[in-house]
A and B are shown apart, each in its own frame.
Chain A
């Protein structure tokens, strides 16, 4: 059983009578420990897909199954719990709270996990040391560079020890060098056994990941999985998942 499955998922928006299929009947399996990149042009539905994978949004049609449990039937409270414990989300624009310092930002998910003050601080410090920001605990986000802010956001995503890391264009707002450092961090996380899913529009970055999924007009256009020997390219399948 896959860790995270999408079954015939569609997300449809209605704008002034016009129907926008941000996701159009997508099926997808993600295994534990996979390192996956999602590529595609702007507006193709990458963010929508990530939001549904990350339990931030629910599909109009179809099913999301996380560790054997159907998310469509989960309550808002349960979804919040999944976001809190099972999934770490990294955004393109960092999404740190400007009024809180670095340490408090990283402590935030643990507050909602009901973890006590002392343990919270210890774990936040450890996570920040891991992204090499152990010396900037008391700084406000606006006192940090973009790369540093994104590392704080990664520390925040990691601090509750989630199984799945979702990153929506995490290097999109960073220079190439900083982007590479962030990318190395994600590779490391994947090698530790976490499922890491990365959205990018940069083919060079996508080339790093063993598995690549290309999205066009809300559908999966191509899939490449280097791990599956001899199957470098799968035919683009409107209804297909990874396995035919």
Chain B
């Protein structure tokens, strides 16, 4: 044999002179990846928990984000945070003995507030029909719920836009003329949808009965819809145009994702029927046997000028109302701050419950990883013994096992992120809503971070166990 070996250094050896070990992390990652690849099926099963945990966390957060966006969009659509609503309510129990003195909310309240609170930008009273009225026109019936007698300010406060015809004027009001202005939802029900007829339908000038009383439709509002709804509608319209230009018959019937699937707030807004307050009073309330001496309002909506001072303004409004009502609380406040808080609470709850589910998945995934790492080290006792015999320290073995478990989690986490897109698309396809799910980078980073932490934590116990194994015993093991 021809031997050419390195020369042995002749200097005296000192333990303390030895250079410090450097564990090559890149090398450990490679070993980890190889280990995963060597046990593909087992690794895939192990990763499943992490994949599900990460994807459910991301998908859940995307759905909640979508809903939140939709809610905020809807809130802005009906006037935003600056809006305050006062609703007539029954006299509270402790004031029952004063019931006969309660006269409800009246136009006198509106005048008093206008005069007494300069911070009110606009104030709009409404008188509703007590029971949902039946509308009839064009041979069709429709039961609706948003039929109100109003002053023109209501249009401003609700951010309505008259697109066809006109709004009623002072003469309509003072003469209590039977005129009304409707939303496109009412039009859709009674006169047909433009999607079906292929052209805009404008029933201005047509007659419609409200609980049997004939009214003339003098105007129609614009169509209100969410961002998502509009996109879908425009897409299907373009599709229809394309089919038309190709000479094919456009498909009848509602396209997917249309109709009532949109945000509730927009749907309500589109189903409005307004008439002058005075018309409502004279035609539906004044003639009744138990009619009050003056118009009784169902609600008063107002918008404050300065949102930052809403507390003071509300206190002032409350004072004036209490004086006017002689201390009887036959009205209640509802601010959109409440709604906003509701949204926050809903988002928080949804996140918590979704987070809990995802957390359980990740926890189970972590247990799976720990289990597989324990199985892996007991399969590799001899390997660990050999590595130690040739100079691996406990720390080297610890890092190797930890890296392997983390690599499983990282790969599982990446798969989970990819999978979450599919989950979101799947949910949106199965149950389309007006609220497009929004996958945020933050949610992805958070879910991935959790997965990595789970991998690290799951690896610690097996890693410590492996690092502490006795060299001789490990070498003897078969």
Using CB atoms and an 8 Å cutoff, list the residues of chain A in contact with chain B: 3, 32, 51, 56-57, 66-69, 74, 76-78, 80-86, 89, 91, 95-97, 99, 108-109, 111-114, 129-132, 156, 158, 160-161, 163, 181, 184-185, 188-189, 192-194
B10 within 8 A of partner (CB) = yes
User: Across the two chains, which residue of chain B brings its CB closest to A112?
Assistant: B391
B388 within 8 A of partner (CB) = yes
Listed from nearest, the 6 A-B pairs whose CB atoms lie closest are A84-B391, A114-B22, A67-B13, A80-B393, A112-B391, A109-B390
Q: Which residues of B contact A156 (CB under 8 A)?
A: 390
Q: Which residues of B contact A86 (CB under 8 A)?
A: 13
Q: How far is the CB of A52 from chain B (nearest CB, A)?
A: 10
Q: Are B383 and A189 in contact (CB under 8 A)?
A: no
Q: Which residues of A contact B23 (CB under 8 A)?
A: 112, 114
CA gap between A113 and B10 in the complex, in Å: 20
CA gap between A68 and B15 in the complex, in Å: 9
Given contacts A69-B14, A97-B383, contact A109 B391 (CB under 8 A): yes
Q: Which residues of A contact B388 (CB under 8 A)?
A: 80, 83
Chain B 185-199 residues near chain A, CB threshold 8 A: none
Q: Which residues of B contact A109 (CB under 8 A)?
A: 390-391
16 new A-B pairs (CB below 8 Å) besides A80-B21, A81-B393, A84-B391? Answer: A3-B13, A51-B472, A68-B12, A76-B393, A82-B18, A84-B21, A85-B18, A85-B391, A111-B27, A112-B21, A112-B23, A113-B21, A114-B19, A130-B4, A132-B2, A163-B13
CA gap between A184 and B1 in the complex, in Å: 8
Contact residue among A56, A80, A131 (Cβ-Cβ distance under 8 Å from B472): A56
Please list 24 pairs of residues, one from A and one from B, whose beta carbons are closer than 8 Å in the complex, sorted by A's number. Answer: A3-B13, A56-B389, A68-B14, A69-B15, A78-B15, A80-B391, A80-B392, A81-B391, A81-B393, A84-B392, A85-B18, A86-B13, A96-B386, A108-B390, A112-B392, A114-B21, A114-B22, A130-B3, A130-B4, A130-B5, A132-B1, A132-B2, A156-B390, A163-B9
Q: Are B395 and A77 in contact (CB under 8 A)?
A: yes
Q: Which residues of B contact A158 (CB under 8 A)?
A: 5-6
Given contacts A76-B393, A193-B10, contact A67 B5 (CB under 8 A): no
Given contacts A83-B389, A97-B386, contact A189 B5 (CB under 8 A): yes
Given contacts A66-B15, A69-B14, A78-B15, contact A192 B393 (CB under 8 A): no
Of the listed residues B385, B391, B475, the one surrounded by the most CB atoms of chain A closer than 10 A to its CB is B391
Range class of the B interface residue count: 35 or more
Count: A-B pairs, CB below 8 Å: 122
Contact residue among B6, B382, B386, B396 (Cβ-Cβ distance under 8 Å from A161): B6
Q: Are A57 and B8 in contact (CB under 8 A)?
A: no
B387 within 8 A of partner (CB) = yes
Q: How far is the CB of B3 from chain A (nearest CB, A)?
A: 5
Q: Are B395 and A95 in contact (CB under 8 A)?
A: no
CA gap between A189 and B23 in the complex, in Å: 30
B165 within 8 A of partner (CB) = no
Q: Which residues of A contact B396 (CB under 8 A)?
A: 80, 112
Chain A proximity mask over B18-58: 1 for CB below 8 Å, otherwise 0: 11111110010000001000100000000000000000000
Q: Which residues of B contact A184 (CB under 8 A)?
A: 1
Q: How far is the CB of B355 from chain A (nearest CB, A)?
A: 40
Q: Which residues of A contact B1 (CB under 8 A)?
A: 131-132, 181, 184-185, 188
Q: Are A77 and B27 in contact (CB under 8 A)?
A: no
Contact residue among B4, B19, B475 (Cβ-Cβ distance under 8 Å from A91): B475
Q: Are B21 and A66 in contact (CB under 8 A)?
A: no
Q: How far is the CB of A124 from chain B (nearest CB, A)?
A: 12
CA gap between A58 and B9 in the complex, in Å: 26
Q: Which residues of A contact B475 (CB under 8 A)?
A: 56, 91, 95
User: Across the two chains, which residue of chain B brings its CB closest to A184?
Assistant: B1
User: Across the two chains, which residue of chain A brings its CB closest to B8?
Assistant: A193
B354 within 8 A of partner (CB) = no
Contact residue among A83, A99, A189 (Cβ-Cβ distance under 8 Å from B38): A99
Q: How far is the CB of B12 from chain A (nearest CB, A)?
A: 6
Q: Which residues of B contact A80 (CB under 8 A)?
A: 21, 388, 391-394, 396
Q: How far is the CB of A110 from chain B (nearest CB, A)?
A: 9
Q: Which residues of A contact B140 (CB under 8 A)?
A: none
Q: Are A77 and B394 in contact (CB under 8 A)?
A: yes
User: Across the two chains, which residue of chain B brings its CB closest to A84?
Assistant: B391
B309 within 8 A of partner (CB) = no
Contact residue among A82, A89, A96, A99 (Cβ-Cβ distance under 8 Å from B15): A82
Q: Which residues of B contact A192 (CB under 8 A)?
A: 5, 7-8
Q: How far is the CB of A57 from chain B (nearest CB, A)?
A: 5
B471 within 8 A of partner (CB) = yes
Given contacts A67-B12, A184-B1, A185-B1, contact A89 B392 (CB under 8 A): no
Q: Which residues of B contact A68 (CB under 8 A)?
A: 12, 14
Chain B 449-478 residues near chain A, CB threshold 8 A: 471-472, 475
User: Across the two chains, which residue of chain B brings its CB closest to A85?
Assistant: B18
Q: Which residues of A contact B386 (CB under 8 A)?
A: 95-97
Q: Are B391 and A188 in contact (CB under 8 A)?
A: no
Q: How far is the CB of A86 from chain B (nearest CB, A)?
A: 6
Q: Which residues of A contact B392 (CB under 8 A)?
A: 80, 84, 112
Q: Are B391 and A57 in contact (CB under 8 A)?
A: no
Of the listed residues A112, A131, A192, the one surrounded by the most CB atoms of chain B closer than 10 A to its CB is A112
Q: Are B21 and A56 in contact (CB under 8 A)?
A: no
Q: Are A161 and B8 in contact (CB under 8 A)?
A: yes
Q: Which residues of B contact A3 (CB under 8 A)?
A: 13
CA gap between A184 and B6 in the complex, in Å: 17
Q: Are A76 and B21 in contact (CB under 8 A)?
A: no
